[in-house]
Structure 1
Amino acid sequence: MKTFEHYFLASNRWLLIVTLAVMAVIIFANVALRYLTSQSIEWAEEVARHLMIWLTFLGCGPVLRYGGHIAVENLQDALPPRAAVALRAAIALLLLGFFIFFIWFGMDYMERTQYQQTPATQISFAWIYAALPVGAALMLIHWLLMARGYILRREFAADAHFDANASASL
């Protein structure tokens, strides 16, 4: 399981890096062309916007694993240890249900928008909205991999999980 988790984290991290790099190259090329030739790439803004949507949803899982989403922890800090574990278990179940709902809702939304096309690239909006169920599924996997440690010890991943150099050892 640790091997799966290692490769899962590394592939999620590299997917984020590549998506951000592609987005940056497209934006830089468009700005450079606009100022140097007074021409711009007509699809650049649209593709960059859609890559940003994908980047947001693909990044939700690692941020969850790191404990970077907003949280109010005063109640569990004030509770006795057993009650705090019970509260975290309830939170874990609520998050599990939320992620499953997110996947279902995202699939439904994709189905509803499959015949609408983007203005510049003429691709189906379902490809853009696929970021919602894909990101939620990745978040669910991240959550299942870390939920036990969160519930029992309120632990999150260390900074080393997000070090780009750490993935170079793969």
Structure 2
Amino acid sequence: MRTFHNAVGKIEAVAAAILLMMMVLLIFSGGIARLLAHPLNWTIDFATCFFAWACFLCADIAWRRDGLMSIDILIQHLPLAVQKALVTVNHLLISAFLMYVIYAGTWLSWISRARSFQGIPSISYSWITMSLPVGATLLLITTLLKLLDHFRARQPPLSAAVM
């Protein structure tokens, strides 16, 4: 499972980088085209889609690397048992929230399936909203693996997940 998760992480990093580069290129080319009086209205729609997907992929990458902001100045002075309990509670709260996002994102994707992009009427808006449940699922898997590592004591009690 860990090997598969690491492989998915590498794929996420490549996909996020490609999506961010394509987003920038689309916005830039759309701006140049508009300057030349030949607007490409569809560029913003695709850039929006790429941005949504890149946000969730990058969030999982940052979570995997403990690169998210944390406030642990008070927590580090607590006894080790309390620190471990807080990390556990925090991971469980994060997991509960992500499960809600998966549910709500799936529902949102379902109800927006008939909606289309303004500049691209043949493509469903669900392509953007599916980034919610897919991204939340990736984040949930990472959170559960972090929780498992915490219980197996592979991870120090203070991490980016504390507060």
TM-score bracket for the superposition, by shorter chain length: 0.7 to 0.9
Contact 2:49–2:127 (CA under 8 A) maintained in structure 1: no
Q: How many residues align?
A: 155
Match of 1:56 in 2: 55
Q: Which amino acid aligns with 1:113?
A: S
- CA offsets 1:127-153 (integer angstroms, 9 cap, x no match): 211010011011112222333445641
TM-score (norm 2): 0.84
State the shift of 1:94 in Å.
Answer: 1.1
When structure 1 is superposed on structure 2, of 62-71 and 101-110 the one drifting more is 62-71
Matches within 5 A, 1:109-124: 109-122=108-121, 123-124=123-124
Give the RMSD, CA atoms, in angstroms: 2.0
Alpha-carbon distance in structure 2 between the residues aligned to 1:61 and 1:126: 21
Q: Which amino acid aligns with 1:34?
A: R
Q: Which has the higher helix share?
A: 1
Contact 1:106–1:133 (CA under 8 A) maintained in structure 2: yes
Match of 1:143 in 2: 143
Match of 1:81 in 2: 80
Contact 1:64–1:139 (CA under 8 A) maintained in structure 2: yes
Alpha-carbon distance in structure 1 between the residues aligned to 2:71 and 2:40: 44
Contact 1:149–1:155 (CA under 8 A) maintained in structure 2: no
Contact 1:65–1:142 (CA under 8 A) maintained in structure 2: yes
- Identity across matched positions, percent: 25
- CA offsets 1:85-119 (integer angstroms, 9 cap, x no match): 01111111111111111111111111121222221
- CA offsets 1:28-76 (integer angstroms, 9 cap, x no match): 22223233x3212121112212211221122111111223333332342
Structure 2: segments with no counterpart, 5+ residues = none
Alpha-carbon distance in structure 2 between the residues aligned to 1:6 and 1:70: 22
Alpha-carbon distance in structure 1 between the residues aligned to 2:116 and 2:5: 36
TM-score (norm 1): 0.81
Match of 2:9 in 1: 9
Alpha-carbon distance in structure 1 between the residues aligned to 2:56 and 2:42: 22
Alpha-carbon distance in structure 2 between the residues aligned to 1:76 and 1:155: 11
Alpha-carbon distance in structure 2 between the residues aligned to 1:9 and 1:139: 11
Match of 2:101 in 1: 102
Match of 1:162 in 2: none
